[in-house]
Amino acid sequence: MSVSNEPNPQAVSAPVIGLTTYLEQAQTGVWDVKAAFLPKVYFDAVNRAGGIAVLLPPQPVDAVVAGRILDGLDGLIITGGKDVDPARYGQEAHPATDEPRKDRDAWEDALLTAAIERELPFLGICRGAQMLNVALGGTLHQHLPEVVGSTRYSAGGGVFNDNDVQVDEHSRVAGLIGGVVTAKSYHHQSIDRVAEGLVVSARSHDGTIQAVELPSVPFGVAVQWHPEQDYDDIRLFEGLVVAARTYRGSHRPDGVA
């Protein structure tokens, strides 16, 4: 079988999307070690939307390292995971709050800060929305059931609850998914005080903030739900990939869009 040396035009123009990962104890074969981990549904969604997925595990970081990472990316996704350290927004930990993962907090904060500075397109998912808000100076509700009076967003046991979300018709999010979406929820925390510069673009009926965006950049969107869990709806990922392709066309030496 002959292999063509001709470049695949789709592959050449596909933007590279970085996805942050967990750093967890993992077992495989005889090994029981710390490992980078991210459910396949995340990078499947990126691939189906036309992007190339690159995983970004937590590691020592500063502004220079974050910049070098983003030099190789056209877009960024801050994925779901453990709770953000409450010390980052000046609070003591609630009994239900996860043990802080300070390495991941620092990693994602640095990546978001660098992405915003260079206007690299980004999408935050669940923890990613919370991390964006905290990185910009906002706060979180540490245990949402105490605020809304139910566990409708946090069934537990790996079960994603469906919750209707109303989207602001004038928002970028509405331009991607329309005015109403049935969200796949799995979170016991949510945005409380919104950081300066962020705009709320979606809420559920009880007032819980479900999406925010950063109007000062070409594409800065974060949602509280898990769009990667809906196989039939990759519109948010497609929106990121389109923005990342535009970014690639204007920032890369080859100029390929």
The answer to whether 6 is a known catalytic residue is no
Question: Is 22 within 8 Å of 38 (Cβ atoms)?
Answer: yes
> Measured at the alpha carbon of residue 122, what is the angle toward residues 65 and 59, in degrees to the nearest 5?
30
Three-state secondary structure string covering 59-120: CCCCHHHHHHHHHCCCEEEECCCCCCCHHHHCCCCCCCCCCCCHHHHHHHHHHHHHHHHHCC
- Tally of CB atoms within 10 A around 16: 17
**Sign of torsion, CA 175 176 180 186?**
negative
The answer to whether 228 is a known catalytic residue is yes
* Residue in 108, 188, 213, 228 annotated catalytic: 228
CA torsion, ordered 90, 158, 233, 215, to nearest 10 deg: 0
Determine the longest span between alpha carbons in the chain, in angstroms. 63
> Measured at the alpha carbon of residue 251, what is the angle toward residues 68 and 129, in degrees to the nearest 5?
65
Report CA Rg, the chain.
18
* Residue in 126, 141, 187, 213 annotated catalytic: 126
Give the three-class secondary structure for 208: coil
Q: Report d(CA 36, CA 98) in Å as an integer.
A: 19
Q: Which residues does the annotation mark as catalytic?
A: 126, 226, 228
